[in-house]
Amino acid sequence: MYDKYNRLYWDNQLPHDAVIGWDDGTTNCAEINVLEHETGQKVCVLHINPKEIHKREDKEIAVLHECIHAKLYPYTRHGQRFKEEVRRIAARGALDNLI
């Protein structure tokens, strides 16, 4: 799902190395950590909480949300930059059939 969204909405500009898994220990629906190697290569580690995500649409929205964080890294807030990115991917159809 991450690779698909990276291709469709970010033109493969997000880090290509991504690890996605279930983690019921996260305090949110989902969270992402972007790790940087000494070489400058970035790896995204995305954790989705199965206790909080029940429907397919919720999972897709959570992954899109965390992809935005990956795009804006190291900016981690949900302010203007985040909202602009939501609007940009929505204009490309990312939220069609999800909300």
Q: Tens of pLDDT along 40-64?
A: 888 889 899 988 888 999 999 999 9
Structural domain span for residue 58: 2-91
Give the pLDDT confidence score for residue 37 in this predicted structure.
83
In-domain check, residue 41: yes
In-domain check, residue 16: yes
Tell me what the mean pLDDT of segment 60-89 comes to: 94
In-domain check, residue 97: no
In-domain check, residue 46: yes
Instruction: Write the Ramachandran bin of 12: left for phi over 0, alpha for psi from -120 to 50, otherwise beta.
Output: left
Q: What count of residues does the chain have?
A: 99
Give the pLDDT confidence score for residue 95 in this predicted structure.
95
The region of weakest confidence among 3-7, 35-39, 87-91 is 35-39
Give the pLDDT confidence score for residue 16 in this predicted structure.
84
**pTM as predicted:** 0.88
The pLDDT tens digits of the residues spanning 9-31 come to 999 999 888 888 888 888 888 88
Give the pLDDT confidence score for residue 36 in this predicted structure.
85
Q: What is the DSSP string of the chain?
A: -HHHHHHHHHTT-S-SEEEEEE-TT-SSSEEEEEEE-TTS-EEEEEEE-TTT--SHHHHHHHHHHHHHHHHHTT----SHHHHHHHHHHHHTTTTTTT-
Domain count, the chain: 1
